[in-house]
Amino acid sequence: MLTKVFSAALRGVDALEVEIEVNGGPGDPQIIVVGLPDASVRESRDRVITAIGNSGFRWPRSRMTVNLAPANVKKEGPSFDLPIALGMLAVEDGVDIPRLARCMVAGELGLTGEVRAIKGVLPIALEARRRRKKALIVPFANAAEAAVVEGVQVFGVRSLREAYELICDRSSATPVLPMLDDAKARLAEISEVDFSEVKGQNQVKRAIEVAVAGNHNLLLIGPPGSGKSMLSKRIATIMPPMSLEEAIETTKIHSICGLLSEDRNFVFSRPFRSPHHTISDVGLLGGSSNPTPGEVSLAHNGVLFLDELPEFKRSTLEVMRQPLEDAHVVVTRAAGTMKFPADFMLVAAMNPCPCGYFGDPKRECRCSPTQVERYRQRISGPLLDRIDIHVDAPAVAYAELSSDVPAESSAGIRERVEAARAVQTARYAGSRARSNARMSHAALKANCRLDPQSQEMLRLAMADLELSARAYDRILKVSRTIADLAGSETIKAKHLAEAIQYRTLDRNLWR
Sorting pLDDT into bands at 50, 70 and 90, what band is 179? low
Q: Which residues of 375-399 are buried (b: 16+ CB within 10 A; e: fewer)?
A: bbeebeeebbbbbbbbbbbbbbeee
pLDDT at 160: 95
Sign of the C-alpha dihedral computed for residues 308, 309, 311 and 316 taken in this order: positive
The pLDDT of residue 11 is above 80 = yes
- Above 80 in pLDDT, residue 164? yes
Between 393 and 30, the more confident residue is: 393
Confidence band for 231, pLDDT divided at 50, 70 and 90:
very high
What are residue 203's phi and psi, to 5 degrees? -65, -40
Q: What is the pLDDT of residue 481?
A: 95
Nearest to 225 by CA among 352, 400, 394: 394
Q: Is the pLDDT of residue 113 over 90?
A: yes
User: 309-348, pLDDT tens digit by residue?
Assistant: 999 998 889 888 889 988 888 887 766 788 899 999 999 9
Amino acid making up residue 138: V
User: What's the whole-number mean pLDDT along residues 370-386?
Assistant: 87
CATH 3.30.230.10 fits 2-178, yes or no: yes
Nearest to 296 by CA among 269, 267, 274, 264: 274
Q: Cα separations (Å) of 462 from 51, 325, 469, 493, 501?
A: 70, 21, 9, 15, 12
Sign (positive/negative) of CA torsion 211, 212, 215, 218? positive
| Contact of 128 with 5, CB cutoff 8 Å | no
Q: What residue type is assigned to position 191 of the chain? A: S
Instruction: Give buried/exposed letters for 10-28 (b at 16+ CB in 10 A, else e).
Output: bbbbbbebbebbbbbeeee
pLDDT in tens, 186-199: 555 556 788 888 88
CA dist 178 and 153 (Å) reads 9
pTM for the full predicted model:
0.87
Q: What is the residue-wise DSSP string for 439-484?
A: --HHHHHHH----HHHHHHHHHHHHHHT--HHHHHHHHHHHHHHHH
Neighbour-count burial of 186, counting CB atoms closer than 10 A to its CB (0-12 exposed, 13-18 middle, 19+ buried): middle
Range with the poorest average pLDDT among 2-6, 201-205, 399-403, 480-484: 399-403
**Residue 45: pLDDT band by 50, 70, 90 thresholds?**
confident
The per-residue pLDDT of the chain, averaged, comes to: 88
Tell me the average pLDDT across 111-132.
Answer: 94
Residue 125 scores a pLDDT above 90:
yes
How many CA atoms are closer than 13 Å to the CA of 56, on its beta-carbon side?
7
Residues 299-316 have pLDDT tens digits of 999 999 999 999 999 888
N- to C-terminal Cα separation, the chain: 76
Structural domain boundaries of the chain? 2-178, 195-425
Burial status of residue 50 (CB atoms within 10 A of its CB: 0-12, 13-18, 19 or more): middle
Proportion of the chain above pLDDT 90, given as a percent: 44
Question: In the predicted model, is pLDDT for residue 112 greater than 90?
Answer: yes
**Sign (positive/negative) of CA torsion 120, 8, 91, 169?**
positive
Q: With 60 as the cut, is the pLDDT of residue 122 above it?
A: yes
**Strands 135-139 and 153-157, bridge-based pairing:** parallel
Task: Tell the CATH topology of 195-425.
Answer: Rossmann fold (3.40.50)
Using CA atoms, how far apart are residues 223 and 356, in angstroms rounded to an integer? Answer: 5
| Model pLDDT, residue 331 | 83
Segments of 307-403 assigned E as strands? 328-333, 336-341, 345-350, 389-392
In this prediction, residues 491-498 reach a mean pLDDT of: 92
Looking at residue 466, its pLDDT comes to 79
Reported as a single tens digit per residue, the pLDDT across 256-293 is: 988 888 778 888 889 999 999 999 988 898 877 677 89
Q: Are 305 and 348 in contact (CB under 8 A)?
A: yes
C-alpha torsion 495→497→500→501, nearest 10: -110
For residues 506, 508, 510, 511, the Cα torsion angle rounded to the nearest 10 degrees is 140
* C-alpha span between 215 and 194 (Å, rounded): 19
The 10s digit of each residue's pLDDT in 129-143 is 999 999 999 999 999
pLDDT attached to residue 183: 55
% of the chain with per-residue pLDDT over 70: 95
pLDDT at 506: 58
Q: Is the pLDDT of residue 510 over 80?
A: no
> H/E element holding 25?
strand 14-25
Q: For residue 16, is pLDDT > 90?
A: yes
In this model, does residue 41 exceed pLDDT 90? Answer: no
